[in-house]
Amino acid sequence: MPAAYVIVDVRISDAERYRQYMATAPAAVQAFGGEYVVRGGRCETLEGGWQPARLAMLKFPSYEQARAWYDSQSYRAARELRLGATDFFNMVLVEGVAAPV
């Protein structure tokens, strides 16, 4: 079963409020077998016109576990803390490729 990835592009408008989200979200991610692969950091556009503000990428053991995390009560509570803290918060879930045999 291939891993799944959650990719986020966010522009933070209220850093203090967003810190509350960042303090809560990792426990919800870990509870569903997820891990942060990228959480901010240096970023540059190599091709195209996309200019992400702040990127995060999470890896989950499967698409189903990532979806269960997103729908979980613990992550819903974290999302509530994020309300009003961003200008935008774009998130996609994508299934990775199966490992070659």
What's the half-sphere exposure (Cβ side, CA atoms, 13 Å) at 101? 1
The pLDDT of 82-97, averaged and rounded, is 96
| Domain span at 83 | 4-42+54-95
Does residue 101 fall inside a structural domain?
A: no
What is the tens place of the pLDDT at every residue in 30-88?
A: 999 999 999 999 999 999 999 999 999 999 999 999 999 999 999 999 999 999 999 99
Determine, yes or no, domain membership for 49.
Answer: no
Task: Classify residue 28: in a domain, yes or no.
Answer: yes
Does residue 38 form part of some domain?
Answer: yes
Nearest to 6 by CA among 47, 61, 88: 61
**Domains contained in the chain, number:** 1
Per-residue pLDDT, 70:
98
Q: Specify the DSSP element, H or E, that contains 19.
A: helix 15-31
* 76 within a domain of the structure (yes/no): yes
Q: What is the pTM of this model?
A: 0.91
Within-domain flag for 91: yes
CATH of the domain at 72: 3.30.70.100
